[in-house]
Structure 1
Amino acid sequence: MRRALIGAAVLLVAAVSTAAMVRAEAATPTLNALAAAKGKYFGSATDNGELSDTAYTAILGGGEFGQTTPGNSMKWDATEPNRNSFSYTRGDAIVTFAQQHNMKVRGHTLVWHSQLPGWVGSLPTTEVQAAMENHITQVATHYRGKVFAWDVVNEPFNDDGTFRTSPFYNAMGSAYIADALRTARAADPDAKLYINDYNTDGLGAKSDAMFNLVKSLQSQGVPIDGVGFQGHLAIQYGFPSQMQQNLQRFADLGLDVAITELDVRMVLPRDATKDATQATYYNNVVKACAAVTRCVGITIWDYTDKYSWVPNTFSGQGAALPWDENLQKKPTAYNAIVTGLGGVVDSPSPSVSPSASRSASASASPSASPSASRSASASASASSSPPPAGGCTATYKIVNQWDTGFQGEVNVTAPAGRTSWTVTWSFANGQTITQLWGGTYTQSGASVTVKNETWNGTPPATFGFLANWSGTNAIPTARCS
């Protein structure tokens, strides 16, 4: 009987013309929208096996994340399994998914001691430099313009701050790092070049070694744009010492910093106390990044326990991510990230099921006024009149809305054969776009014009944006040409 009542509620909500009768599931903006409001991104790693899981990809590409990192498909064993024989199929699949869902891609990784095909370790030391430079040049050139940053060198240090041995270090000493960065810059001049490592999140011997390395590279004129802090944490160990101060000292060198592989594991089974500690760790990391202007973003190392690397690596441990193995948000961990990004957590309405909430087309934050809530929900989307032959259609909708801002999305459709599009509309209530992805835009007064990127000129295409509003947020009529 209870299931029947819930099903009836879903149908009722789907049928009504206004969503003001319910509160949408997302009472705050998405994680990426919250991060974008601070000039940052919030992302998730992924891998090729996950892309066949439609429930998983619906969340990955559904707006929570503005960035992704291929977990394995750009590493050496995947891209050059045999010397000078390159394969990009797996990496290309993730790049394509990201482009289709307005996500930017972090390249990971060009030089690492692990996941090397056997032939690299078998090379004479006199041939290692040439092989490394060729690998970097080929892979970075292939993905030029498709990734915004590269983890050029991954995990160069032992935990005590000494250099880790590898075929590259054994052949070239620590000079391999500068050579790798120079080679990457030549192959992809526009990508941000990073060194990435774990257990460098707080102050200590390993982060000191990284700090000294970066200063040395800068003094030599070696191109380096940022440092990645992996953030593989565990609640049974103390939180990294003075994380914010550590991030800031690298930023003070004129570098970007990023949290690149965040997860917070625990000894299983889960319980409320462990969940609370995990939430505190997530909140601390996010607030540390948010407080450092040059901390450009945060990437969790996949978003769900279903595909976490932790259980296979740390026996008896897991539950490390903000979504559980059933792709459900963990309220404590997820809300800790929301509040760390400056969002407001709202308790769900007890009278509407999650399915019913998802059918609502827009939402207002708990701090939004009743009139704001009605404005957001009364008309979730508006499309232009039917296009002429060969024309295109733009459908505008509000994804999320809060007291001073909102997240919008426009879907572009057209008959086959189109290779470009332009969408225009006029705001009626003084709304101002602050950030837009999936297109290039100009705004002059009320008038907005958005043109396609080079990679999404053939519809269907989608672009999203953040904007400010006050008082009224009427839905404009979007036109496509």
Structure 2
Amino acid sequence: MVRTFFGLLLAAVFGAGSASAQVTNGGFESADLGVIEDLASIDGWQLTVNADVDPPAVFEIVDDAQEGEKALKVTVAASGANPWHIEATAFPVTVMPDGTYQFSIWAKADEDGATATFSVGNQAFNEYAALRDNVDLTTEWQEFTFEFTITDEETEVRAPVHFSYAANVGNAIYIDGLSIVDPEAGATPIVVEAEDGDLGSEYATATDADAGVDYIDITTDVTETTGGAGFPGANRTATYEVTFDAPGWYDLFARVYVGASTFDDDSFFYANDFGDQDPSVADGWIVANQLAAAGFTTPDEFVSGLGAEGAEVWKWVNLSENNFNDVPADSFYVAPGELTHTFTIGARENGLLIDKLAFGRSDLFYTVTNLDNGEPGSVDAGEPIELPEQPLGAGLEKFIGNIYSPAQTEDFEFYWNYVIAENAGKWGSVEGTRDQFNWGGLDASYELAQENGLDYNFHVLTWGAQQPDWISGLEPAEQREEIREWMEAVAERYPDMDVVQVSNEVLRTHNPPDGQNGRADYKDAFGGDGDTGYDWVIEIFRMAREVFGDDQRLMLNDYGILSSIQAAQEYRGIIEDLQAEGLIDVIGVQGHAFSTRSGAPITAVLDLLGETGLPIQVTEFDVDGNPNRSAFVTEAQSDANQLRDMQRIFPLLWEHPSVEGITFWGWRPGLWRNEEEAYLVRSNGEQRPALDWLEDEYLPQFRVANEAEVDGAVRLLSTAPNPFSTSTRVSYELREAADVSLAVYDLLGRRVAVLADGPEAAGAHTATFEARGLASGTYLVRLQAGDAVTAVPVVVAR
């Protein structure tokens, strides 16, 4: 429930802060489950049924709750003469004369059509305010709220709920979470010093004298003690007693320092709820991981979202707003009348220092300064960021995608229409321990694509880097068996993929699995260099084709290709060897900023690879704003640098006829080229000028060309089907009669087919492109009507 609308609304109603909760047992949590025989036995409530209600209503404490674990169920068999003849009254409710309060309650019924009245009044039954006129209840929990002011000298008031209505006969009504609080209370966060807890024996306290910080640190690593990947273990927990000022939803924050080992120093556990936790059982613990690429340090920054600070700096992270390590995060609920709670954290990796924990209202925004000084939060975080109405690639013949990683998922579907998992898809991330699979990140990336109708690219089956450590020590036959099992597991688990990257960075000076420089060592298990110099690549692709079948598109991917004709020629040689056996369907070229510097032969390389007839994807594209990581480059200069290079590079890639799409390798702070400032939005979601240019200026011209008119005279619609094996239908429209030339060209500019040639009337037309006899690959369908010209790519795939 991480800053959802429901969570915001509930927190705004309940509040928090210096005022005490006004209602005792508003959520019935202190009552025992079951039918209530003694109506006077429920702490904080007066339950009544008048004598004229026959048979009488039944009151019961049940576990069908909106908040917490319990709620009150009232089953009505008959109604009395007045609504209050069946009544549940919260009493006494403590208030202050002249005080203004917020009333909130949740209610539902077994069947639609039930009704109730909610009110607050003094002990003389004079109401301050009420919700009446037969408030309708449905089978879904609804929240009912109103504000009231104490207009007399009362310090204890009543809050009755009336159920005696004819509409309720034969039905059951449920109420939960009654709260009456000062709506202005609770803006101040509850801050806890980490060293003030009950610390396990493996924790140590220390002081960072330069920063003036007292902190806790774990003295043992998770691999050296009783802990595991999913639980902290004995002697590795720190427990705190936290007293809240009022009920409501709270986000959890932590002020931490990630050590010099970065991603080996950046994780810990925290309990997923209040109360005691078993340190030897994974259930009940959330892993906060990848903190090396998260957090905020700038005083006026709101600690909302992931943030982008790195290691070796004290920073605040919002744990409740982020799915670190692909484990769902959550906010914490404090029930009315239960304001003191036990909360526990646990150690995982050593090298992570913890200064403070803080709980802040989920409906408020807290800056770094607010959390440092225990200051009230704000109702909003400035002007809201306006999200685009459609992804960048919407309505275009080519896709524009991005990576899935915890730092990059927020608002993903608003910008991108293609998904690649970053580190989550690398074999070492999934099967770091033999036969123990961690599919969490991959599942999340695949679900993101499935839920939003996006194409999915799997990155990556085999590679020299980020492979399981255990694979290198096996015999060649075992290595082949394990790699086939890995492929089969992927194929079975993710049946709907556009592309599977079979191998990555295979050039001999890049990252082949040859055992050199710390790389995995299984190249020889697949034939080594052999006659082609890359027999092992061909053999791995043969295995992949067997496992995934002919209908799955397979890709080879590598870096440094766009910057070197020599590398591109060597790369093309491997591709042609794979083509000879029908083993490759798509060429991947990484587009990292170091490959696309000024002078890189981008177009020549794309031409060279395009001559194979295979489509090309730019798989890992980024554009730096501060390529040298200079401390003297201002934000404005970084923006200008990135915009200039985006305008230079992106059109070369996008407009090449062989390129079918571009995938950025991150777009939010926390991406791999974070220090080079390659992100396209700032930490608050504000777009940088390079993204503005893509969205507002550059891409719309292609959307118009594909969807609408060209020079107001002609409209060339998408071909269908595309890709195709034998024939496809081409549709086009003319605004007025014109001489038409509709022809098909290969990537060398040779005309291979004429579909229409001569005068045609205004209106809709269709033509059929028969591709029999043509090689697989990308072709251009070009339409000229008078002076208007447009074209779309089509792919012949066999």
Specify the TM-score bucket, using the shorter chain as the normaliser. Answer: 0.5 to 0.7
Aligned twin of 2:413: 61
Output the CA distance in 2 between the equivalents of 1:188 and 1:289: 29
CA separation in 2, counterparts of 1:277 and 1:128?
A: 46
Q: Please give the alpha-carbon distance, in whole angstroms, between the structure 1 residues aligned to 2:591 and 2:705.
A: 33
| Aligned with 2:458 (options 107, 111, 136) | 107
Change (3 A) 1:284 1:158: farther
Q: Note if 1:211 corresponds to 2:572.
A: yes
Conservation of the 8 A alpha-carbon contact between 1:162 and 1:209: no
Matched residue SS, 1:73: helix
The runs of 5 or more residues in structure 2 that have no matched partner are: 1-384, 529-533, 709-714, 721-730, 732-798
Equivalence map 1:26-105=2 (5 Å): 30-33=391-394, 36-37=395-396, 39-48=397-406, 51=409, 56=410, 59-62=411-414, 64-105=415-456
Name the SS for the 2:461 alignment partner: strand
Query: Is the radius of gyration larger for structure 1 or structure 2?
Result: 2
Q: Does 1:119 align with 2:477?
A: no
Q: CA offset at residue 121 of structure 1? A: 1.9
Mapped to 1, the partners of 2:460 and 2:440 lie a distance apart of 16
Mapped to 2, the partners of 1:214 and 1:403 lie a distance apart of 33
Question: Aligned in 2, Cα 1:230/1:334: closer, same or farther, shift over 3 Å?
Answer: farther
Per-residue CA deviation, residues 373-419 of structure 1 (Å, 9 max, x unaligned), is xxxxxxxxxxxxxxxxxxxxxxxxxxxx979958xxxxxxxxxxxxx
Measure, in 2, the Cα distance between the counterparts of 1:310 and 1:403.
34
In the alignment, is the contact (CA less than 8 A) between 1:161 and 1:208 conserved in 2? Answer: no
TM-score, structure 1 normalization = 0.58
- Matches of 2:477 and 2:602 in 1, distance apart? 40
In structure 2, the residue matched to 1:319 is 677
Task: Check conservation: 2:572, 2:609, Cα contact below 8 A.
Answer: yes
Q: Which structure's residues are more often strand, by fraction?
A: 2
Return the structure number with greater helix share. Answer: 1
What amino acid is aligned across from residue 138 of structure 1 in structure 2? Answer: A
Q: Is 1:308 aligned with 2:660?
A: no
Of residues 586, 590, 594, the one that matches 1:226 is 586
Quick one: percent identity of the two aligned structures? 22
Alpha carbons of 1:186 and 1:102: their partners in 2 closer, same or farther (altered >3 Å)?
same
CA drift of 1:332 comes to 3.2
TM-score by length of structure 2 reads 0.36
Q: Tell me how far apart the structure 1 counterparts of residues 513 and 417 of structure 2 sit (CA, whole Å).
A: 34
Give me the whole-angstrom Cα distance separating, in 1, the residues matched to 2:524 and 2:470. Answer: 15
Secondary structure in 1 matching 2:597 = coil
> 1:87 Cα deviation (Å)?
3.8
Following the alignment from structure 1 to structure 2, what is the Cα–Cα distance between the partners of residues 198 and 46? 20
Q: Are 1:152 and 1:195, in contact at CA under 8 Å, matched by a contact in 2?
A: yes
CA distance in structure 1 between the partners assigned to 2:706 and 2:461 by the alignment: 42
- List alignment gaps of at least 5 residues for structure 1: 1-23, 312-316, 345-400, 407-430, 437-443, 445-481
Tell me which of 262, 267, 270 is aligned to 2:621: 262
Match for 1:150 among 500, 512, 516? 500
**Counterparts of 1:176 and 1:222, CA distance in 2:** 16
| Residues 102/72 of structure 1: CA separation in 2 closer, same or farther (3 Å cut) | same
Letter in 1 for 2:506: P
What SS is found at the alignment partner of 1:260? strand
SS at match of 1:153: strand
* 1:315-347 deviation line (CA, Å, top 9, x unaligned): xx3210222233211013441575453549xxx
Query: Aligned letter for 1:289?
Result: L
Deviation at 1:91, TM superposition (A): 1.1
* 1:238 match: secondary structure: coil
Contact 2:403-2:422 at 8 Å conserved across structures: yes
Q: State the secondary structure of the residue aligned to 1:216.
A: helix
Question: What does residue 20 of structure 1 align with?
Answer: none
CA apart distance, 1:68: 1.0
Confirm or deny that 1:168 pairs with 2:511: no
Quote the Cα distance in structure 2 between the aligned partners of 1:162 and 1:331.
38
- Are positions 1:202 and 2:563 aligned together? yes
Whether 1:134 and 2:485 are equivalent positions in the alignment is yes
Match of 1:247 among 598, 606, 614: 606
Verify the 8 A CA contact 2:502 2:556 in the aligned structure 1: yes
Partner of 1:288: 652
Counterpart Cα distance in 2 of 1:110 and 1:248: 27
Of 278-287 and 258-267, more deviation after overlay is shown by: 278-287
Q: Distance in 2 between matches of 1:299 and 1:404?
A: 20
Tell me how far apart the structure 1 counterparts of residues 513 and 455 of structure 2 sit (CA, whole Å). 31
The CA RMSD measured in Å over matched residues stands at 3.8
Supply the distance in 1 between the matched residues of 2:598 and 2:544 (Cα, whole angstroms): 34
Q: Which one-letter code corresponds to 1:225 in the other structure? A: D
- Indicate conservation of the 8 Å contact 2:401/2:416, yes or no: yes
